[in-house]
């Protein structure tokens, strides 16, 4: 019953937050006005600036910001116990993450759809523009370099998810063309797309499709990385209505409906138990409330500040400011839709993170395979033994496969409480994870194209201002990193494609630092308009200090420290120090501009 109460209580808290705090921000602070002309209408070009219904933009925005972040982060963070992770997700998403996303979206819409990096040059100083865009480029390069690997790993773990994920692309193109040319209601295409996608999950591994999935699952990671980066190039340069919008929208239908199944299954398991007869089990949390001090998990870093960079998406993530100010702000056709898309999407992601936590601390207790050396045995573990099998030590829970696996297994158990078979439930959740990762990858490539074009404009490098050149440049950089083997691995075919792991340790702190810098832009925008700033100052300070502490800890503290440890990593050290240097420089620019900024409007976009 405790699991059920947490899920329903969290849902109620998010609904209340949206209708109180969210509305206050919308009406009293940002003063959203439907009569203001949105950038999508003012600058409509049929390519990037396309007026779009808020439900479609919500689908794009939610699937782009979510990715695997609200799955992997919470699935790892529960190693410190379920309560710290839950509290950070709830309070972080309502008071920090949603404000960050909403604010970035509104400010971008008020500045012709420019990214927060571009806007920072007029709000703070011209130098800040290049510094901020450099941080954005680094963060997006890491995303592009790693997410091909993420998708390949999910496909290898759950081959039955391959065909259902691939079939989404032609479905999206057909629906995009259908809607754009016919201008019909969304209802019929939505029902058709959702039906086809669920049928692809149910029958996508039958007969010859099983051989198809198995063959593609056996591809080397480098092959998947190349294919996915080429797909990302196409998604980045095609008009947004052909592929990106419809794919994200139909994905959101499937993903949100799958979340609905998880919630209903959780309710049934919580009220009536799981299984039947003598095998019937009560749904209960099998993880400890908190594992701190002497009870801390072996090998785990300190919960402070690392909890706050381990769970990024789901509480607050700097990557979201790029989606808000990069793509969504160019698509909303009415300014008042920003609360639904900006604030509402983040709360939806927060609720997803709550469900991930419950799947990993209660769902797996209903039964998961025992793992020996990462391979499943025929033994099924239940209760606390199931949790310990995944979270006994930091090393045991640290791999991508184990984190994704814990969520897929736990959430599939919730779905099985509906009477659905284990094969379908597992395939559906495998598609769930892979689809989220894919939508983040193609959106990140488009965002990196915008950032590269803005850097080209800021530095005077003319070729980078062209969308094709900018996209190719971004993909070459990310592809070169991704193509390398993982740290310490030989240059062999099966090891290639894992190079994103080289820079991945930087992402947590860099991503959260980006959130702090986005808050700085929001803060200056409000300060120049003499608006209340107290509710931005606190999260901005929090998000500027904690990631810096985490980065400093990774650089200098412990035997595994990048710079002072037993085996120094000078690549990570140099990039980490450069990131801290960029933060310090931006803060210096902000401090210099602050006294003269109050009440002084910046130059118009």
For residue 51, the model assigns a pLDDT of 94
Percent of the chain with pLDDT over 90: 57
Helix axes 422-459, 54-66, angle to 10 degrees: 90
Q: Which residue has the higher pLDDT, 280 or 88?
A: 88
The alpha carbon of residue 467 and the mean position of all alpha carbons in its chain are separated, in whole angstroms, by 24
**Model confidence at 296: pLDDT above 70:** yes
Mean pLDDT of the region 209-221: 93
Residue 373: pLDDT band (50, 70, 90) is low
**Model confidence at 82: pLDDT above 90:** yes
CA distance 429 to 99: 29
CA distance 431 to 437: 10
Express each pLDDT in 478-491 by its tens digit. Answer: 999 989 888 878 88
For residue 374, the model assigns a pLDDT of 64
Beta partners for residue 376, in sequence order: 371
In the Cβ-directed half-sphere of 163, how many Cα atoms lie within 13 Å?
21
**Model confidence at 599: pLDDT above 90:** no
CA distance 445 to 518: 20
Q: Which residue has the higher pLDDT, 391 or 179?
A: 391
Mean pLDDT of the region 498-510: 86
Give yes or no for a contact between 198 and 254, defined as CB atoms under 8 angstroms apart: yes
Bond preceding residue 305 cis, omega within 30 of 0? yes
Give yes or no for a contact between 43 and 112, defined as CB atoms under 8 angstroms apart: yes
Give yes or no for a contact between 325 and 107, defined as CB atoms under 8 angstroms apart: yes
Global pTM value: 0.93
Reduced DSSP (H G I as helix, E B as strand, rest coil) percent helix, strand, coil of the chain, to 5? 75, 5, 25
Percent of the chain with pLDDT over 70: 98
Q: Which residue has the higher pLDDT, 537 or 379?
A: 537
Measured over the CA atoms of residue 510, residue 516, residue 522 and residue 525, the dihedral's sign is: negative
For residue 439, the model assigns a pLDDT of 86
For residue 183, the model assigns a pLDDT of 67
For residue 591, the model assigns a pLDDT of 93
What is the average pLDDT score of the chain? 90
Express each pLDDT in 6-15 by its tens digit. Answer: 999 999 999 9
For residue 410, the model assigns a pLDDT of 93
Q: What is the H or E stretch that residue 228 is in?
A: helix 221-237
Residue 266: pLDDT band (50, 70, 90) is very high
Residue 153: pLDDT band (50, 70, 90) is confident
Least confident of 25-29, 78-82, 120-124, 133-137: 133-137
**Model confidence at 375: pLDDT above 80:** no
Residues constituting the chain: 605
Token duo for residue 224: 């998947």
Task: List C-alpha distances in Å: 111 to 43, 119, 398, 468, 533.
Answer: 11, 7, 41, 24, 20
Mean pLDDT of the region 106-135: 91
Give the 3-state secondary structure of residue 379: strand
CA distance 399 to 409: 15
């Amino acid at each position: 019953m405790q699991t059920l109460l947490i899920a329903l209580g969290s849902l109620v808290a998010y609904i209340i937050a949206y209708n109180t705090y969210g509305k206050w921000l919308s009406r009293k602070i940002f003063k959203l006005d439907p009569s203001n002309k949105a950038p999508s209408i003012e600058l409509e070009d049929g390519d990037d600036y396309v007026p779009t219904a808020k439900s479609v933009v919500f689908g794009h925005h939610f699937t782009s910001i979510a990715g695997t972040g609200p799955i992997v982060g919470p699935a790892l963070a529960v190693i410190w116990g379920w309560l710290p992770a839950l509290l950070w997700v709830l309070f972080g998403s309502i008071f920090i993450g949603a404000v960050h996303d909403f604010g970035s979206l509104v400010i971008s819409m008020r500045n012709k759809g420019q990214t927060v990096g571009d806007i920072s040059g007029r709000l703070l100083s011209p130098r800040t523009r290049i510094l901020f865009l450099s941080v954005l480029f680094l963060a997006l390069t890491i995303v592009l370099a790693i997410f091909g690997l993420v998708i390949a790993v999910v496909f290898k773990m759950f081959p039955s998810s391959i065909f259902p994920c691939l079939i989404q692309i032609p479905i999206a193109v057909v629906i995009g063309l259908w809607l754009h040319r016919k201008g019909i209601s969304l209802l019929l295409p939505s029902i058709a797309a959702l039906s086809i996608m669920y049928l692809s999950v149910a029958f996508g591994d039958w007969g010859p499709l099983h051989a198809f999935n198995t063959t593609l699952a056996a591809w080397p990671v480098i092959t998947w990385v190349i294919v996915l980066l080429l797909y990302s190039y196409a998604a980045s340069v095609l008009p947004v209505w052909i592929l990106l919008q419809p794919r994200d929208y139909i994905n959101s239908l499937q993903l949100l409906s799958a979340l609905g199944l998880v919630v209903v299954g959780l309710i049934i398991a919580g009220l009536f138990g799981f299984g039947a007869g003598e095998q019937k089990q009560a749904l209960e949390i099998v993880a400890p409330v908190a594992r701190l001090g002497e009870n801390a998990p072996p090998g785990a870093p300190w919960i402070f500040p690392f909890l706050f960079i381990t769970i990024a998406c789901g509480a607050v993530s700097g990557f979201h400011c790029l989606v808000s100010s990069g793509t969504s702000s160019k698509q909303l056709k009415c300014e008042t839709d920003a609360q639904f898309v900006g604030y509402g999407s983040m709360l939806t992601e927060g609720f997803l993170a709550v469900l991930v936590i419950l799947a990993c601390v209660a769902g797996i207790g209903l039964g998961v395979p025992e793992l020996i050396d990462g391979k499943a045995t025929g033994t099924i573990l239940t209760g606390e033994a199931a949790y310990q099998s995944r979270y006994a030590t930091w090393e045991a829970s640290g791999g991508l496969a184990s984190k994704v696996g814990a969520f897929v297994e736990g959430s599939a158990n919730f779905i099985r409480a509906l009477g659905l078979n284990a094969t379908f439930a597992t395939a559906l959740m495998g598609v769930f994870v892979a689809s989220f990762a894919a939508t983040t990858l193609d959106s990140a490539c488009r965002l990196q194209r915008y950032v590269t074009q803005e850097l080209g404009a800021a530095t005077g490098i003319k070729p980078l201002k062209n969308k094709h050149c900018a996209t190719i440049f971004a993909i070459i950089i990310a592809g070169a990193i991704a193509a390398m083997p993982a740290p310490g691995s030989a240059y062999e075919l099966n090891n290639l494609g894992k190079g994103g792991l080289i820079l991945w340790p930087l992402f947590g702190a860099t991503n959260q630092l980006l959130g702090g810098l986005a808050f700085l832009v929001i803060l200056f925008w409000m300060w120049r308009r003499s608006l209340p700033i107290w509710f931005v100052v606190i999260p901005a300070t929090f998000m500027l200090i904690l990631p810096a502490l985490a980065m400093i800890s990774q650089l200098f503290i412990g035997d595994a420290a990048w710079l002072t440890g037993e085996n120094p990593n000078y690549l990570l050290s140099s990039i980490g120090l450069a990131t801290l240097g960029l933060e310090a420089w931006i803060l210096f620019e902000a401090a210099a501009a602050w006294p003269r900024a109050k009440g002084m409007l910046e130059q118009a976009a």
